[in-house]
Structure 1
């Protein structure tokens, strides 16, 4: 495979370039071409990459892939990874914080309790364990922010008591086949917000 010339290899890469390589790596892992340990190592290297030369070795041994990343489409859709059995995880923030971000597997059910504390849940680079995941946030004098891709479908069903739940109203960028994030729970003197934001 012909590699980019020296000036191209020195070119700085964007977050979109890194994300494209990450998608190639995840697909390769799903096909059994690389194992999970190698996937984790290559993903870490992809997100740390500064130049095209840093990205070249991560995909050049995989079939039908470019020697370096190309920009991803604007309509990035988070991948859904089937895990068989439904998964349920819990998070607690009592006068403290709970945070999830980066490349992680969103369980089919995630329950977070925030008491005089806060939760920051970012699923933009995450993989989803099911086409629809449920995030239940119970906030008492606390709050939570959930950040999703512009293409992700969002359903907000929470109950606010001297508090509130808020979410995006415009679904114009939601992509066919995109996962759904369903947000439930209650907020007592607290707030839970869902925002759509492109990858940085």
Structure 2
């Protein structure tokens, strides 16, 4: 059975929760997330979360497939996932339409606005395009890469649709990050020609989101430590109260025995 965009996103939410809880390291999380967005069938999604808690008791939709019914619904996911409001990142004047690297390189990263059509040229050089914090001039953008003995690196955030159409001669275009995006998310088409060069496309979470995930993980650990401390304190308090009760009880018996013996000696 073919996987839907909603099913991929539910699996991605489970992975993000696992990262925040410390069940996955950053490298393994990124690897599984990439596999999630590359998955074509439900069977490819199942192994990615088989060893993670899915909270199936929260699944009340009644219409999910058995394979992915354990994944959390978007409404129960932490607020972090709700910060990706794509409509707020679409529109505005493009800040750069060209990039040229001749025996060198160029970079476009941070808060920049991706044009409807961006053209990169690399001759014994190349460039790096990071779209994780970028705005988009339009919902559909095209990145054209032309390289001779050079290459380009394109980084996209989770949720953005990616389609790779380029042609490589003694080189190639990496299509491993291709996949559908969230509803309303931008769609990036990567095309062009490379000769003795290549174009790499990867998905990575934005730095701000990564920091928030780490903060969530620290808070979770602190909460667990606090609960353990409170549990130990309760057990100690119960033990002290129990010991004091028994000690007082035995002391009372001892006093009673002394009184009896004293009465007998008289």
Q: TM over 0.5, yes or no? A: yes
1:188 aligns with 2:195: yes
Point out which structure has higher relative CO (alpha carbons under 8 A, 6+ apart). 1
| Residues 77 and 154 of structure 1, relative CA distance in 2, 3 Å threshold | farther
- Which of 144, 150, 154 is the equivalent residue of 2:162? 154
Query: How many angstroms apart in 1 are the aligned matches of 2:179 and 2:83?
Result: 13
> Equivalent residue for 1:199?
206
Query: How many angstroms apart in 1 are the aligned matches of 2:83 and 2:178?
Result: 15
> 1:75·1:151 contact (CA, 8 Å) conserved in 2?
no
> Which segments of 5 or more consecutive residues in structure 2 lack a partner in the other structure?
1-77, 208-266
Number of aligned pairs? 130
1:179 aligns with 2:204: no
CA shift for structure 1 position 169:
5.0
Higher strand share: 1
Normalising by the residue count of structure 1, what TM-score does the alignment of the two structures yield? 0.58
> 1:80·1:127 contact (CA, 8 Å) conserved in 2?
yes
> 1:153·1:179 contact (CA, 8 Å) conserved in 2?
yes
CA shift for structure 1 position 73:
1.5
Query: How many angstroms apart in 2 are the aligned matches of 1:103 and 1:87?
Result: 10
> Equivalent residue for 1:131?
139
Equivalent runs, 1:33-48 vs 2, <5 Å: none
Query: How many angstroms apart in 2 are the aligned matches of 1:178 and 1:188?
Result: 32
Cα RMSD of the aligned pairs, angstroms, is 2.6
Structure 1 segments, 4+ long, off by >2 Å, are 74-84, 167-172
| Residues 133 and 87 of structure 1, relative CA distance in 2, 3 Å threshold | farther
Higher CA-based Rg:
2
> 2:109·2:129 contact (CA, 8 Å) conserved in 1?
yes
Equivalent runs, 1:1-200 vs 2, <5 Å: 72-73=80-81, 76=84, 78=86, 79-83=88-92, 89-169=97-177, 171=179, 174-200=181-207
> 1:109·1:133 contact (CA, 8 Å) conserved in 2?
yes
> Which segments of 5 or more consecutive residues in structure 1 lack a partner in the other structure?
1-69
